[in-house]
A and B are shown apart, each in its own frame.
Chain A
Amino acid sequence: MEIKAKYKKLFFEWHNPLCNYANRIVKDRSSASDIVQDVFVYVWEKRDQLDLDQNIKSYLFQTTYHRCINHLKQSKIVPLSDDEYKMSNTASDEAEFQREADIYAKKERIIKSLRHLPPKCKEVFVLSRQNGLTYTEIAESLGISKKTVENHMVKALSILRTNLKNLAT
């Protein structure tokens, strides 16, 4: 595969997880997007030194992290206290960034699986799991029976179980 192809594959795999990771640190969607874009420009410039075939996800997360910190410093924004993001460079070793990459890859996989649910099924599942509505509340809000809500939930769980096999690994 030519280098541009490898690079594009890398971009499509990690763009959204990295944007979410950056957004969690800088708490600003637009800045997060810009930071990740800069990270990928940097990776392209360094493509001769980097082996895009190898696992460079921790490198991507590490680079994004440092750029987020720089952004916060330059913007003189005091980062919000967040146990997971103590800005004292605790997250500085490769294993830590590897762990972050795995967490965000997992989230991306889950969000994609949720997106693949049939529309009604997805609506019911999101109302239940994300919005915390009871089955009765969902039934009232969507004008369907409680039994139908239960059926949608069973179907959603069944599809997600199939699509998210080996999620822990």
Chain B
Amino acid sequence: MKITDIIAQYLLSKEGQQERNQLAEWHDDTSKNIEIVKELDSVWEATEDFSDYETFDTNAAWSALDSKISEEPKQPLISTKLLAAACVVLLAGLVTWNLIDNHNTSGDKALPNHTTDDSSMSFALEDESRIWLNSNSEFVQVSDFTETRSVSLEGHGYFEIAKDKKRPFTIDTDMGTIKVLGTAFDLNCDPNTFDLKVTEGKVAFTNKKRTYEISANQRLVMDNGVYVMIDWYDHHEADWRFENLSFDNTPLSEVLTTLSTTFQVTFDNSDNLDLTNCLINTKFNDESITDILSELEIIVNLKVKKLSDTTYEISSLKCQ
């Protein structure tokens, strides 16, 4: 029936339930459609000319700025206590994992920031928490972890947070703050998305209105502005972190760091090979650590010897 006929019927017989329902439905649909047209119009207009909007290297700028303000004598940002603690961490790292030696030679205390474009990456924080960052995401460590462990995320990440009751781990998102003690979870968030899936432990999410507690096998998702808590058992949904590893002119030292956190293995670089000048360009899709190391052996003539299920010794490297 044409909408004019329905309106006419409705006006002629205001008692007609069917016409009233149809009219309400049409009205709702129309309002939604008008809203969609408005939003699309806004997007169309907003994306018209962006040729003059550039991307500056915020990470590099922060590193430079951080070094500069950290030198300031007025209020030292890094206490002697923290420096001592950092040395302890470094020494422990030297014993357990020689790669750190190649990675942290400058003594630069810049806090880590990571941004991904089309590929994903993984890395470890100084508290031994492990983070996997999916494509098109931005991770920023906003505190130096002395009293609190504070980071922010825009995009998609998987977190394995090391337990430390004295220093709660918090993640700032556009929607609110997540607080954890020791747990593992998958988090996807941007200005319009919030999807938190907990695999281990418990997580508290606080927004302007209230706090939600989400335990293992639960998921808190925002649907049309409303937060919904549901059961979540399909942990394979968080397997994206093992599926696509992409390296684009990435130093071998970083590649091995990524493999180390992804596959939970360690590399023994007793020969002190210089891994920073060896750049890797390759992609691995859902491949085992054995296959990946075999490929690295071919690409850069890296000799890898398996010492145990979780330890590999590397030697003899020839970069092109």
State the Cβ distance, A54 to closest chain B Cβ, in Å: 17
Instruction: Render B284-317 as a binary contact track against A, CB cut-off 8 A, 1 for contact.
Output: 0000000000000000000000000000000000
Is the Cβ of B142 less than 8 Å from the Cβ of A161?
no
Candidate in B39, B113, B154, B155 with the most chain A CB atoms within 10 angstroms: B39
B142/A8 in contact, CB under 8 A: yes
Q: Can you name the residue of chain B whose Cβ is closest to the Cβ of A164?
A: B43
Interface segment among A19-27, A70-78, A88-96, A144-152: the answer is A19-27
Is the pair B61, A161 in contact by a Cβ cutoff of 8 Å? no
- A12/B58 in contact, CB under 8 A: yes
Contact of A16 among B44, B47, B56 (CB under 8 A): B56
Are the CB atoms of B111 and A106 closer together than 8 Å?
no
Chain B residues whose CB sits within 8 angstroms of the CB of A162 once the complex forms: 192
Interface residues of B in 53-91 (CB under 8 A from A): 53-56, 58, 61-62, 64-66, 68-69, 72, 77
Q: Could you tell me if B53 and A111 are in contact, using CB atoms closer than 8 angstroms?
A: yes
12 sampled A-B residue pairs with Cβ under 8 A: A9-B140, A9-B152, A15-B58, A37-B61, A106-B46, A112-B154, A115-B136, A116-B155, A157-B43, A161-B36, A163-B190, A164-B39
> Known pairs A8-B143, A112-B154, A129-B48. 12 more at Cβ < 8 A?
A1-B142, A9-B142, A9-B152, A12-B152, A33-B61, A36-B61, A40-B65, A110-B46, A114-B50, A161-B39, A164-B39, A167-B42
Chain A residues in the interface with B (C-beta under 8 A): 1-2, 4-6, 8-9, 11-12, 15-16, 19-20, 23-24, 29, 32-33, 36-37, 40-41, 44-45, 106-107, 109-112, 114-116, 119, 125, 129-130, 157, 160-165, 167-168
